[in-house]
Structure 1
Amino acid sequence: MHDAIDGARALRTVDYVQRYFRLPGNHGFDLAIDTVASLLRAAGYVREDSAPASARLVYRVESRPMANQAWTPLAASLTIGGRSTPVQQFSTNLNMIAINSGSTPEGGVTADVVDVGTGSDAEFAAATVTGRIVLSTGVARTVFPRAMKAGAIGVLNTQKLPAYNQQAKNTRAIQFTSVPRDSIRQGWLIFISTATHDSLRAALASATPTQPLRVKAEVRTLFETRPELTVVAEIRGRSRAAERFVYSAHVQEPGANDNASGVGALAEMARVAATLVRRGVSNPQRTVTFLWGDEIRSTDRFLKEDSVRRAGVKWGMSLDMVGENTELTGGSFLIEKMPDPSAVWVRGEDQHTEWGGKVLAEKDIRAHWFNDFVRQRCLDRARQTQWVVKANPFEGGSDHTPFLNAQIPAVLLWHFTDQYYHTDLDRIGMVSPKSLANVGACALSTGLLLADGSRSIVLAALEELTGVAERTIRAQAVLSADTLTRGGNAQTEAHILDTWRAYYIGAIDRIGEIAVGPVDLQAATERAKARVRAAK
């Protein structure tokens, strides 16, 4: 199954999906959903409502009414007065229209620009805003409603991006974000890049009271009443259909890596899994579920809407930003672990990313084997391909969190730090078919092995986990020894090692969860725990 994932095929799906700005219910989101459904049908999945009871490959498209209208950006441009070429346009800056913006009149609007700085009360009071276009470096969500209330036509806003976006280098980068929705004063806000900001500042510097800076802005968006769609595909388990391994990839967000890459990788995994089942190469005893929808919310609904279904979900995995060309983005492939001792004592190779994480309490630790099982599957792939595999302590923020909140073991597969994260420079050129193939292979291997749950898999997992535990405890002992040479507390360091040891002993006690049928593990687990207790 390692060689069956076709990264180039997955990349074609990513390329199509990343062309559209995707939010629940909008045109781009639904085109992605339609594409996934089409790929599933081509792979042999049958619509669930028309499939016979014996069908193993099924899918459904769930539809739910939305509380708010769907928002779709269509076009935008910004042109400095006296020039023929736009300084910024939607075709090259997909994130330039603030989410929830309305449209300009047909053909756009031309007006004077007034600079209100950060958009404070005093700065607004000192400026004549009515009938003009406001320029601001303030927080868009507060500047926008203030400008609309003051009678502005629209707003041009310069963002301050996080350090990892390298704004001084990536001068065309714009992050997507929203402004408050206002059905009464439906104005618009255009985010401007650093390059556009500099052009406007230069033009402002040469403006005079009699010849003020004027710009032409055109924004076209749609607000429509549309449903929110979710795709759920399943390979029904042969003997334990009520038990599930669930994959989730969110569709919304406009980037190529975030998260068209997850959509494309998961679609390719579903195709390969179907092929393996049809050919008799794989015969999962548990159900394997593939989920595409709105980040966190779709996964959360899957778990909460059906208590019986939720009871059968044994493991979860989120695929988010899985296709990165690391040479271009600067990111590393990471497995974000469910909370283990590394989330309490952050040290050694276990470091938080620049996205951000907090130190957890010891009570948050969950003794389990799943982190290491997933990592070993990725390392299996790495031994063949020289793929660099790393891990980070739990941080949250993607589709693994609903699983963990429901006390279901889950991890996130992703990349970070990415200099293009959440910006409109996250385009198809930043995606690697090799990364898609690597992540897809290890993710699918994990799910199919656990859905199989045979005795040989359980015993192999136990032996593997014991070896990982011994190596981890030895590595932690080296870190503790180094800390002590620098004045560390001996009692604290002993407690850290004891906690890691207890973590792995608890994980060994849970290894039997993999088994589909009865497997006598008592003697084997006692030997494994003895090895962990003896590790130094």
Structure 2
Amino acid sequence: MTPSNRARLAIFAALAVIGSLEAVDGQKPAPAQSAPATRFTRAAAIDAPIVRASAGLDKLLPRQAETIYQAVASRFRPARAMDTVTFMERFWRLPVNAGFSASLDHIKTGLVEAGFKEGALSGTLSPVLAVEEYPNGGNGWELVRAEMTIVQSAAGTAPERVFDPVTDYIALCMNSFSTPPGGVTAPLVYVGNGADAASYASVDVKGAVVMGDGRMGGLWREAVGLRGAIGVISSAPPPAYTRPDETPEVFQWGGVPYDEKLKAFGFKASRKVADRLKERLKAGPVTVKVDVETRFNPGPGKLLVAEIPGRVSPNEHIVMVAHIQEPGANDDASGCGTLLEMARALQAAIAAKAIPPPGRTLTFVWGDEMRASREWLQRDRGRQT
């Protein structure tokens, strides 16, 4: 979904919940059109494709909704939202790590440029932002570099890069440790499924890089935890929704257990990569060199909160959230960019008096997908009402 489509849906969803913007400083928006609560509830439950196709949606919104939408949409710049996506997509973003922190700072800078000032999130009528911290509990894993090269092969293809630095840049699993300086060289061993003991009945994998078609958890346990492999490659198929038969280069990123004693590594391989490695192994023994550099950055978790204070019921919040962590553009850099541009456009429209300030506080939150909303609620009891 493009940032502009995301924005349109977000604006209509906000309007459906807000009901109306309040008249302030002499501004007098058109009176809201009343509607039974059940109709609003029903509207909020409609999924996105139906909302886009619904010709009757306007009947469920306040009368001034289209005027407000046009004022905000005319100030929304999809290219500016995409700039945020482009900035963020280069990073493997996890809470506390450098990519997460850089992304949060990028969004914060955009808010400041839009007129949000850093300060307390209550007791003001001006747009405000704050960075809130909480005990993280994570290790802030960060990918610096991950390379695997076939250095010896009976197929005569060596040296041959295993993972493409562009299409496979998230192949290394979270919590993988660095290899020794200069990398490590080891035999590549294919064990079939690899997630059960039977896969190892006739093979010794100690000191090897093991490839298996099973899920990462079982493969790691059997090969690294129980048999001394230095690392693993899981070629387990991705979820069906990725249409793996049509997209053999697609794989799902993943993680391995954090283990300071084993200090091993894991990779996820697409069908395309796995099939190529299996072809090389059919021709004879394969030796690979693995060079991995990662960092761990333990510290407090952070979430970025921006607010346009309500003028009538400031303690009632309309909360919009996007998550920073995870790799890539669409999950959820596109949401982060769209939400930032939404905040900018709304504030610009209010500052220009194209629309009045909101009656309820508009709250924008960026953080960890698994914790941001919960941490925002727990920071202040008043937010839970």
TM-score band, normalised by the shorter chain? 0.7 to 0.9
Q: Are the aligned partners of 1:251 and 1:260 in contact in 2 as well (CA < 8 Å)?
A: yes
Indicate yes or no: 2:239 matched with 1:239: no
Out of 120, 130, 141, the residue aligned to residue 217 of structure 2 is 141
| Partners of 1:280 and 1:223 in 2: CA distance | 47
1:291 lines up with 2:365 in the alignment = yes
- Say whether residues 1:62 and 2:62 are aligned partners: no
Counterpart Cα distance in 2 of 1:287 and 1:52:
10
Q: Secondary structure at the match of 2:161?
A: coil
Match of 2:336 among 263, 281, 290: 263
- Normalising by the residue count of structure 2, what TM-score does the alignment of the two structures yield? 0.76
AA partner of residue 209 (structure 2): I
Counterparts of residues 375-414 of structure 1 (less than 5 Å): none
For 1:464-475, list aligned pairs within 5 A: none
3-state SS of paired residue (2:133): strand
Q: Distance in 2 between matches of 1:64 and 1:90?
A: 34
Contact 2:125 2:311 in 1 (8 A): no
CA distance in 1, matches of 2:248, 2:167: 13
1:75 and 2:150 correspond: no
> Distance in 2 between the 1:258 and 1:133 partners?
30
The answer to whether the Cα contact below 8 Å between 2:314 and 2:359 also exists between their aligned partners in 1 is yes
**Alignment partners' CA distance in 1, 2:381 and 2:229:** 50
Q: Give the corresponding residue for 1:201.
A: 278
SS at match of 1:9: helix
CA distance in structure 2 between the partners assigned to 1:58 and 1:190 by the alignment: 42
Alignment partner of 1:7 is 2:81: no
**Larger helix proportion, structure 1 or 2?**
1
Letter of the structure 1 residue corresponding to residue 369 of structure 2: E
Q: Partner residue of 1:179? A: 256
Q: Which runs of 4+ in 1 moved over 3 A?
A: 51-55, 89-92
Change (3 A) 1:17 1:70: same
Asked whether the equivalents of residues 76 and 89 of structure 1 are also in contact (C-alpha less than 8 Å), the reply is no
Pairing 1:165–2:250 present: no
Counterparts of residues 475-494 of structure 1 (less than 5 Å): none
Alpha-carbon offset, residue 231 of structure 1: 0.3
Alpha-carbon contact 2:319-2:362 (below 8 Å) kept: yes
CA distance 1:177–1:7, change in 2 (3 Å):
same
Is 1:189 the counterpart of 2:263? The answer is no
Contact kept, 8 Å, 1:302 with 1:310, in 2: the verdict is no
> Per-residue deviation at 1:52?
9.8
2:149 maps to amino acid: T
What residue is the counterpart of 1:224 in the other structure?
297
Question: How many Å separate the matches in 1 of 2:384 and 2:221?
Answer: 42
Contact in 2 for aligned 1:56/1:237 (Cα 8 Å) = no
SS in 2 for 1:70: coil
2:25 corresponding residue in structure 1: none
Structure 2: runs of 5+ lacking an equivalent: 1-71, 153-157
Q: What SS class does the counterpart of residue 221 from structure 1 fall into?
A: strand
Whole-Å Cα distance in 2 between the matches of residues 146 and 304 of structure 1?
Answer: 40
Which residue is 1:25 aligned to? 96
Structure with more relative contact order (C-alpha pairs < 8 Å, separation 6 or more): 2
Aligned length: 306
Q: Does 1:128 align with 2:199?
A: no
Partners of 1:72 and 1:78 in 2: how far apart?
18
CA apart distance, 1:160: 0.8
What is the TM-score of this pair, normalised by structure 1? 0.55
Alignment partner for residue 375 of structure 2, among 274, 286, 301? 301
Seen in structure 2, the aligned counterparts of structure 1 residues 40 and 133 have a Cα distance that, compared at 3 Å, is same
Identity %: 36
Question: What do the CA deviations read for 1:267-325 (whole angstroms, capped 9, x no partner)?
Answer: 001111111121222211211000001114111222233222221xxxxxxxxxxxxxx
Cα contact 1:18–1:260 (8 A) shared by 2: yes
Q: Which amino acid aligns with 2:134?
A: R
Judge conservation of contact 2:210–2:232 (CA < 8 Å) in 1: yes
| CA shift for structure 1 position 106 | 1.6
Q: Give the counterpart letter for 2:353 in structure 1.
A: G
2:174 corresponding residue in structure 1: 99
**Counterpart Cα distance in 1 of 2:352 and 2:240:** 49
Structure 1: stretches of 5+ with no match in the other structure: 312-536
Paired AA for residue 148 in structure 1: V
TM-fit CA distance, 1:65:
2.9
Instruction: Report if the CA contact (8 A) 2:128-2:307 is conserved.
Output: yes
Quote how far apart the aligned CAs of 1:185 are: 1.0
1:147-171 C-alpha deviation (Å, 9 max, x unpaired): 2231111111102112221223322
Contact 1:80 1:87 in 2 (8 A): yes
Shift of 1:55: 4.2
For residues 490-517 of structure 1, what are the alpha-carbon distances to aligned partners after superposition, in whole Å with 9 as ceiling and x for unaligned? Answer: xxxxxxxxxxxxxxxxxxxxxxxxxxxx
Once the two structures are TM-superposed, the CA of residue 71 in structure 1 deviates from its matched residue by 0.4
**Following the alignment from structure 2 to structure 1, what is the Cα–Cα distance between the partners of residues 372 and 123?**
26
Q: Which amino acid aligns with 2:99?
A: G
Residue 93 of structure 2: SS of its match in structure 1? coil
Counterpart position of 2:4: none
> Which residue identity is paired with 1:195?
K
Structure 1 position 53, deviation (Å):
4.6
